[in-house]
Structure 1
Amino acid sequence: MSQMREIAWQGLWKSNPGLVQLLGLCPLLAVSNTLTNAIGLGLATMVVLVCSNVLVSLLRNSIPGEVRIPIYVMIIAALVTCVQLLVNAYAYGLYLSLGIFLPLIVTNCVIIGRAEAFASKNSVAHAAFDGFMMSTGFLIVLSLLGGIREMLGQGTLFDGADLLLGDWATALRIELWQVDSPFLLALLPPGAFIAMGLLIAIKNAMNDKVEAAFADKKETVKIERARVTN
């Protein structure tokens, strides 16, 4: 359980792919102009990452070390093709919205990196959990970025949710305020860079605050022990 907790902590916070490792930034910044697109890409990445980790872990003793990276890429490419066909069949509007960035999951450094750094060295259960937590951290960052950009850009949330969930999801659309014309800076890539920088700054500030509080507590304990000893 302690190892599982550490894997969860690494994926969600300490080594978050989006905020710490800064991996997969191309799709992260490109398609996060709405919350729906962000969630759609995040879920697709999650399926590929979990499945690729499981397959790499299962085959880790059978894959020659000299050609492991090409084999990892082949596994990931096959999984991405399956996901792409499923999205095309059941969420065609989202498929059109994500465009080239759906097949580009093949080149996502998060997936290749976890296959090489973790799945190839650990059991299937740990590899699957690692894939799930890393992709969950990636999904959370995508969703935050998509929500911020959509709110600032067009004053809505879950616009186009029907593309992901079907016609019934049209009712999920929330209009926070009336916007006469979209705020293009928030919806275009420059706005994504600015919002991403703010999220990273907030995370770093929180880390610094926690570390300072821990250092103060440690110093207090040290002083108390010295007083008791004297």
Structure 2
Amino acid sequence: MTTPASASRWRDICHNALWKQNPGLVQLLGLCPVLAISNTAVNALALGLATTLVTTLSGSAVAAARQWIPNDIRNPVFIIIIATLVTCVDLAMNAWLHGLYLVLGIFIPLITTNCIVLARAEAFASRNSVRAAALDGLMMGLGLTLVLLLLGGLREILGKGTLFDGAHLLLGEAGHALVLHLVPAEAHYQFLLAMLPPGGFIGLALLIAAKNWLDERARQRATRNASQPAPTTSRVASTE
């Protein structure tokens, strides 16, 4: 049975991973895939989901085995666990999503060295229960995926005038129906800056600026609410 205290803890884990300590916008971890693969929404989504799967499973595995891992060798053991899971994901994508596997290339094996995965294993999973570590890994991965998807969609729209181009690589032939052509294909539109690495830096900076602006608005609203005097109620005695 879920108690109010445990429910509050789950909410804190989700809020911390998705917003307060978002790995892509706040911690600025895993910038290599964020900037290199986020040139289209589909590429960004695929790598984000692969990373989410690894962070969830690695967090659960580390939390389950933490009492048997000597403190002096915990980091090498964590890396072995992560590398094993990444190898499984890499082989699965090569077998079932080969076209997408060729597009993502080296960035799938590089999940092993992604700072997000190892950082959560060290900072959270090695100190918490399996359920909490699994939820933290899932939310951290989804937080990164959302950043990748937003950045990839923004760069694809500005750079190619399309959205979800290449969805068939992830979803099969049905993915062709999801492609949106915001600029007619015959126009041969292309904005190269958005598709190159500088476009990734600029797009990420815009997303970070937007988050900071929303956080500042929330702080100002909280300050105004705190400075307002509490409403007072007056009781009027009634006489018969």
Whole-angstrom CA distance in 2 between matches of 1:184 and 1:87 = 29
Matching residue within 51, 57, 61 for 2:57: 51
1:225 deviates by 7.4
Matched with 1:27 is 33
Q: What do you get for the CA RMSD once the two structures are aligned?
A: 1.4
Whole-angstrom CA distance in 2 between matches of 1:209 and 1:8 = 21
Is the counterpart of residue 75 in structure 1 residue 81 in structure 2? yes
Is the counterpart of residue 198 in structure 1 residue 206 in structure 2? yes
1:206 deviates by 0.4
Per-residue displacement from partner, 1:46-89 (whole Å, max 9, x unpaired)? 11000000000000000000000010001000000000000000
When Rg is computed on C-alpha atoms for both structures, the one with the higher figure is: 2
Whole-angstrom CA distance in 2 between matches of 1:137 and 1:106 = 18
TM-score, normalised relative to structure 2: 0.92
Letter of the structure 2 residue corresponding to residue 191 of structure 1:
G
Matching residue within 173, 181, 185 for 1:175: 181
Please, which runs of 5 or more residues in structure 2 have no aligned partner? 1-6, 235-240
Matched with 1:8 is 14
Q: Paired residues, what number?
A: 226
Q: Write out aligned runs for 1:152-171 (5 A).
A: 152-171=158-177
Matched with 2:103 is 97
Matched with 1:85 is 91
Whole-angstrom CA distance in 2 between matches of 1:213 and 1:158 = 37
Classify the secondary structure of the residue corresponding to 1:166: helix
Q: Percent identity?
A: 53
Whole-angstrom CA distance in 2 between matches of 1:8 and 1:39 = 19
Per-residue displacement from partner, 1:132-178 (whole Å, max 9, x unpaired)? 11111100000000000000000111100011111221111110113
Is the counterpart of residue 128 in structure 1 residue 134 in structure 2? yes
Is the counterpart of residue 65 in structure 1 residue 71 in structure 2? yes
Letter of the structure 1 residue corresponding to residue 63 of structure 2:
S
